[in-house]
Each structure stands twice: as structure tokens, then as C-alpha cells.
């Protein structure tokens, strides 16, 4: 029924124009942001899952940094122990030289001068082997008073309990470090200035070499754990990024197609609204 008080056709055309314009805006937002979800109403459950995945990825990125720090600390400690091992090997060579019948006590005195300096150098290396001011080789790193725990995953529980906390220990507590006293090579009787002392020093140095080798083996085992965990972190981060992308990233080709379709419909609605607005004027022609 043709009327002039209510333009139903214009109202309908305007409603479709608003719908089409909203679709066009949504497609533009997704293309511009690269994200399929720009507000919670776009996909409430998808947004919740994607947010949790993003949180896990952020934590894993920090866990990768933590693992790198753990490896760096262990490498620093191993470097110090390598130098101590070299010193002990040199000291063992000097004891062998002092035990030779080709030298006398005078020559042994010369050998002792170097031997004593090497004993002192062990403590110098222990004192200077640090990471962020923490001394690594005195036996306190990782003990009850100097906890060294690294979170290398999303769980805050220990590895023993199925979590992602790795506890680093170097030496096994105070008194079990790698200084000359801990290695028991600081005793005045550990010397090479006479034949009997040189023979006794040989056994002590062998024990010290074994302790340093054991320490390096333990450090290597912990380093291997960090390296495998770092590889696992990288794999998990890649997979979580892919899962998040599948949920939240926009399909640009699809959105461009949707935008083009909405644009055509918007233009059609504008034309229809223009025609509908002219209908009352056309009806007035009947009154002339």
C-alpha cells in the first residue's frame, strides 16, 4: 500500500545498509590488524584460548633466556675448572720432576718456587670465576643459602615432580668447592722441596685431579640437561605459535573477498535507499 507517512522501503534499505557497512568495517579491521579477533564478541572462546596460548609463549620465551643463562653459568664454571685441571696437571709434572734422581734439593727448591705459585693460583681462579657477582667454584653456588633455580618451562614445580625448575649445584656445598683447601693441596706438607714430600704430594694431587674431573663431569651433565630443555622450549614455542595463529590470525585472502562483497552490497543499499527516499515525492504527484 503506497503511503507517505512511513517509508518502509527506506527503513529496510537503511537497515541493510547498516548491516553491510558493519561487515565492510569488520573486514577492514581484520585486514588492517591481521587478526581475526579484534574484540571479544568476534570469538569469545577463541580469544580465551589464544590469550592462554600467548601467555604460554611469553613464559617460554623467558624460559629460553633462563636456560641460556643456566648454560652460560655452567660454561663459566667449567672454564674455571679447566684452568684448575691444567694447574694440577702441571703440579703433577713438577712432582715427577722432583722425584727424579737427576736433581738435588737445590734444584727441588727451584721447582718448589713454581709449585707454590701454582697452589696460590688455584685460589685466585676460584675467587675470580664469577657470574653476576656470584662465586661459582667455592662450593656455595646452589647450596641451601645460595639457591640457584631456573624455570625453564611453564610449570613452577621441580623437574623431579614433573615441573620445569632445574636446580644447579656446583661442588655440592660449602667445603666441597675447588679451592686449594677443598682440594687438599694447600697443606705445607704438599711440597716438592725434598724427595719425601714430592712422593707424598703425588697422591694428594691425583686425588685433587679426580675431584676436579668429577666436578666437570657433573657440570657437563647439568649443561646437557639445559641444552635438551632449550631444544624442547624452541619446539614448544613453535607449535604454540602455530596453534595461536590458527585461532587468531586473519585469512587475508578471505577477508579481502568478504570486504569486496560487502562493498558491493553497501553500494547497492545506498542506491536502494536513494530510490526509496524518492518514493514519497513520487506519490505526491498523484495529488496534482
Q: What is the pLDDT of residues 188-203, one digit of tens each?
A: 889 999 888 999 999 9
- Residue 204 and residue 76 in contact, taking contact as beta carbons nearer than 8 Å: no
- Residue 36 and residue 251 in contact, taking contact as beta carbons nearer than 8 Å: yes
- Which DSSP state fits 170? S
Query: What is the reported pTM?
Result: 0.79
Q: Give the per-residue pLDDT at 283.
A: 65
Cα angle: 133, vertex 139, 145; to 5 degrees: 70
Q: How far apart are CA 249 and CA 156, in angstroms?
A: 30
Cβ neighbours of residue 282 closer than 8 Å, sequence gap 6 or more:
none
Q: How far apart are CA 81 and CA 240, in angstroms?
A: 39
Task: Give residue-wise pLDDT tens across range 241-263.
Answer: 999 998 988 888 888 888 888 88
Q: Give the per-residue pLDDT at 2.
A: 60
**CATH for 44-248?**
1.20.1330.10
Q: Which pLDDT band holds residue 101 (cuts at 50, 70, 90)?
A: confident
pLDDT at 174 over 80: no
pLDDT at 1 over 60: no
Task: Give residue-wise pLDDT tens across range 33-76.
Answer: 888 888 888 889 988 999 999 999 999 999 999 999 999 999 99
Q: Which residues pair with residue 35 across a beta bridge?
A: 249
Amino acid at each position: 500500500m503506497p503511503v507517505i507517512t512511513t517509508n518502509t522501503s527506506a527503513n529496510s534499505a537503511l537497515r541493510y545498509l547498516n548491516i553491510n557497512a558493519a561487515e565492510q568495517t569488520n573486514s577492514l579491521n581484520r585486514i588492517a590488524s591481521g587478526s581475526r579477533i579484534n574484540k571479544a564478541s568476534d570469538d569469545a572462546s577463541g580469544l580465551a584460548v589464544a590469550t592462554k596460548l600467548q601467555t604460554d609463549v611469553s613464559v617460554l620465551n623467558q624460559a629460553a633466556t633462563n636456560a641460556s643463562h643456566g648454560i652460560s653459568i655452567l660454561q663459566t664454571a667449567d672454564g674455571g675448572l679447566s684452568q684448575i685441571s691444567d694447574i694440577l696437571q702441571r703440579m703433577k709434572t713438577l712432582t715427577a720432576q722432583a722425584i727424579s734422581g737427576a736433581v738435588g734439593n737445590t734444584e727441588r727448591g727451584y721447582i718448589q718456587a713454581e709449585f707454590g705459585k701454582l697452589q696460590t693460583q688455584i685460589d685466585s681462579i676460584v675467587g675470580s670465576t664469577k657470574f653476576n657477582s656470584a662465586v661459582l667454584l667455592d662450593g656455595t653456588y646452589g647450596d641451601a643459602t645460595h639457591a640457584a633455580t631456573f624455570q625453564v618451562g611453564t610449570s613452577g614445580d621441580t623437574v623431579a615432580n614433573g615441573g620445569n625448575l632445574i636446580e644447579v649445584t656446583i661442588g655440592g656445598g660449602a667445603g666441597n668447592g675447588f679451592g686449594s683447601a677443598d682440594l687438599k693441596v694447600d697443606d705445607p706438607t704438599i711440597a716438592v722441596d725434598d724427595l719425601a714430600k714430592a712422593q707424598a704430594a703425588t697422591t694428594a694431587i691425583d686425588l685433587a685431579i679426580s675431584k676436579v674431573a668429577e666436578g666437570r663431569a657433573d657440570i657437563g651433565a647439568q649443561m646437557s640437561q639445559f641444552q635438551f630443555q632449550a631444544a624442547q622450549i624452541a619446539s614448544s614455542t613453535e607449535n604454540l605459535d602455530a596453534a595461536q595463529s590458527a585461532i587468531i590470525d586473519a585469512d587475508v585472502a578471505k577477508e579481502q573477498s568478504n570486504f569486496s562483497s560487502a562493498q558491493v552490497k553497501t553500494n547497492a543499499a545506498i542506491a536502494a535507499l536513494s530510490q526509496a527516499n524518492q518514493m514519497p515525492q513520487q506519490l505526491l504527484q498523484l495529488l496534482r
